[in-house]
Amino acid sequence: MQKCIIGKKLGMTQLFDEKGRVVPVTVIEAGPCVVSQKKTIENDGYEAVQVGFIDMKANKVNKPMKGHFAKNDIAPKKVLREFRLADCGALNVGDIIKADAFEAGDRVDIAGISKGKGTAGVIKRWNFARLKESHGTGPVHRHPGSLGACSSPSRVFKGRKLAGHLGSERVTIQNLDVVKVDVESNIIAVKGAIPGPKGGIVTIADSVKKA
């Protein structure tokens, strides 16, 4: 069965492997989650499961969402995510998904919202090279340089890499190794860094790129 779960990024630490080598890991509070809805080809045009995470007070939920949760007799959840799995039939509404769905050695894809970094220049945003600070450069050593396109078409092409908003976008890191799973605490430790700030919501699923 294909695996999926929603989690909360707790931060980074390090573990030691069987050879005593240091392994940097990101610690994720994964679940428990509940299957709150199943999408079918007949009703929705595609197959998927909707998973809920983090309990929410009933008085904080609007009427449409109250009806959505009441229809399937599910307690209100703060976070809802959809997973398009190859075998959606293996999960049913009301099923609980915990960290024990994964085990050490699994390869996973993790998606989250990256940290917002505000407005950034072209060097930080696009890795542009800076100009020399020798005589004659002037106060433009971090500027993008000439953007014109001569007399034709006499404009800057759409999509040009320029300064602007950086961060706060959905990022997916593929093929990460699960290093450790703590079933009692619903903790999953994956090798390396994942997107998002501490406390950010992430989704974890079987990797589409198998090693």
Say if residue 210's pLDDT is above 60: no
Q: How far is the C-alpha of 77 from the C-alpha of 90, rounded, in Å? A: 22
Q: Are residues 69 and 96 in the same domain?
A: yes
pLDDT in tens, 105-123: 889 999 999 988 899 999 9
* Overall domain count for the chain: 2
| Reported pTM | 0.78
- pLDDT, residue 178, reads 92
The H or E element spanning position 66 is helix 63-71
pLDDT in tens, 45-85: 888 889 999 988 888 889 998 898 888 888 899 999 998 88
Q: Are residues 19 and 93 in the same domain?
A: yes
Residue 195 lies in a domain: yes
Q: Are residues 133 and 183 in the same domain?
A: no
Domain that holds residue 96: 4-115+170-206
69 phi, psi to nearest 5 deg: -70, -40
| Nearest one of 23, 35, 17 to 101, comparing CA atoms | 35
Structure tokens at 121: 């220049």
Query: Mean pLDDT in the chain?
Result: 87
Q: Are residues 94 and 175 in the same domain?
A: yes
| pLDDT band, very low/low/confident/very high, at 24 (cuts 50, 70, 90) | very high
Residue 159 lies in a domain: yes
Q: Are residues 23 and 125 in the same domain?
A: no
Q: How far is the C-alpha of 102 from the C-alpha of 109, rounded, in Å? A: 12
The mean pLDDT of 27-45, rounded to a whole number, is 89
- pLDDT, residue 8, reads 94
Residue 147 lies in a domain: yes
List 9's β-bridge partners, or say none: 28
CATH code for the domain of 138: 4.10.960.10
Residues 5/102, Cβ–Cβ less than 8 Å: yes
Residue 211 lies in a domain: no
DSSP 102-126: S-TT-EEEEEEEPPP--EE-HHHHH
| Nearest one of 26, 30, 3 to 15, comparing CA atoms | 26
The mean pLDDT of 141-149, rounded to a whole number, is 80
- pLDDT, residue 6, reads 93
Cβ neighbours of residue 113 closer than 8 Å, sequence gap 6 or more: 168, 169, 170, 171, 195, 196, 200, 201
Q: Are residues 124 and 56 in the same domain?
A: no
Residues 96/74, Cβ–Cβ less than 8 Å: no
- pLDDT, residue 10, reads 93
